[in-house]
Structure 1
């Protein structure tokens, strides 16, 4: 069996397997998957019609419509229907849905996050001004779920799809052509949404021109323009084929179907024009930025809080929770730091070691005294690696390790207190993200102390080989302000974890 694509198949099916999972809907429980799918389909057709009746309250109405259609409206209650709608919008913890899948690259189980609905930003902007409601659209996962049996959505380009529609019309297959036009409208709107997201990101930060999406757009710009020219020709051919079909097969083909198909083709032309308008608008914006504001792309000298932290991180991605802001700026204004190194450790840094046997026994007889040989203070790596080995063992088994007094026997507590170099590494892991080398490096080479620790652990303990390619980061969980107090040592409650990709 070929396992190379198993993970991708797994990820495609997870949203289908988990549709309606975890819901407790009373008497309509046996029909939850059917009702959930019907809501997704109804929202899909509302999107095709550019109908903005896609708020949470509208979803409740759509669910009741499905119950009446299925003849089970008497089984539903207001509470159960609202619970179903909430279960489609959010997971049980109020965030993304999560499912496990097998990652072919790492050879381990990973977590996939997805949603069935995303916020339609353009529609919501106008809706909030009128009635304060949030408008939703189907996510890519929901679209893929609806068209699971139609690989055309992912495999065919738009121009090929137009040729297929033209072929169906030519052979009188009006129903199939209508279905394909609807799928084409969905695909184009998905592309338009992606381009609008890039445009909005470009307005917030012009440096997105150099992002992966921006670079890909510039590589495909000529291809996109050529595609627009081809589409105009295809739409002209489709309209001619429709007119010919209406005249030649008027006794066989239902005129209402021809009229409906003609309307859908015209809608498809309009959404193509919208996509072209967005693409050209982005091109104009990029050209204006490059010509008139070149200083926006100049590299900043050094690192500053406003640009690199506030504008490029916080304003772009937001904070994980309400306490994040206090954690972010607390170190700038807090009168008491979380942790202060013991004074003896600071004095140890100033110690100078000499080789006694190289010093003259009697300075008077030695003549001109030779300069003392300085021995740089080094890190006792053997003891440091021995202390950190249980940390990485727990990290490998459980995915994280939290430094606490309860996790260390008394003898280990004393060893940590006597080895400040081992404690220093917690702070270094906290201030930087470490990527474990994919392959063992020959000759060592220069590296920071965290990388040296990881390198020596991998060399001495083969069981840690599975960490290669992983990213490690230490953090302090929000709300944990109490220090870890050991005999002769106080340390913040750091947690070392494997950062998900």
Structure 2
């Protein structure tokens, strides 16, 4: 075992082990640790909001709030609650709290001194002028207890985390702020990955809109918009706090640390903007699907085992045990076999006759005739490429192209109507984002028809080679008046666009 860091672990846990220790609180004695931690948390959130209601009287009120929340207010008395608050503000001798820890470097026991509350000098200065009351804030040791409890929680609101970072910067805790910024970046990237997975699932099956996750998101649209606006304001406040810290504490704090923290905050802003863009894009896709493609959500009449049981239940949620599969499938088979008529009975019902020799000869000829080889129908790439070349030329010139009646001549629209394979490719472009590849991928047997079309078009017209490496995204224009209606053709106004990455 490595004993070198044992003392540091010991020092970190001492304030937790001694929280509420040495107090005689009467009937609330069994709950002293829980109530004490709740008081620290309440003061922590008041600090985040820059709320100065943190005097001794205010902390006593917070203790009563906690007792009422835990439904044990009837066990507390004025004397016991005041004794609890006094025990958090000061030790029994009126000074620092003391605990032992093992100092590995000195090979001996040492004394650690700490407090849960410190005097907030800035807030107290203004409070003394108004009411003569002392305002307290959490000490570094109490803050460490809060952070330890945060690590237990898997999800933590981004806006609260930003307020926490701002508070660290305000008090000059640059290293702690940098740790929190890095943690926030990791958390936002994880949330971004989850949103991308939901977006991909939505493209594969639009019915994911009606999943529990999709419905909850749609109901919180306005709340999410407000949350993103609030978090942008927090980022602006953090940058202002960094600039103020660099000016006021330039003789105390390393400027290089400030620069690194500022860069990480800016990176955090960018990944957060990326998350906001993806979330709002998903809302746009959901709204578009609901308004313009309601037929995607029409369920087939009746009930079938494959869709409603296997795909929507078993594959999504799984089965509680292996025996459940036997129970599930047993309902598909009758426990007793139905009576099957014997084959001789069936033959007795047949009439006996003779087949003419001519018919027998024809049957033998058909039997020995060589089977004609089946040739699957392919895509007429020559015609398709000619129709799509103007589309890609417009992409190179303008960056986007919308399929409308005005974009083609009457003859070209007729050719589009007579070439359904060319129309089908619009649908394939719409369901996925396409990156124009520099060269054909290995072992590609032409299964990706979009890439195949792009390769043929670029090979036919070398002037379009500037499309290499571009990301193409296809959407449907919102204006219903743009819908293309031609003889043999009724098509949505697809828009294909080059997306800058």
TM-score normalised to the size of structure 2? 0.36
TM-score (norm 1): 0.36
Rg larger in structure:
2
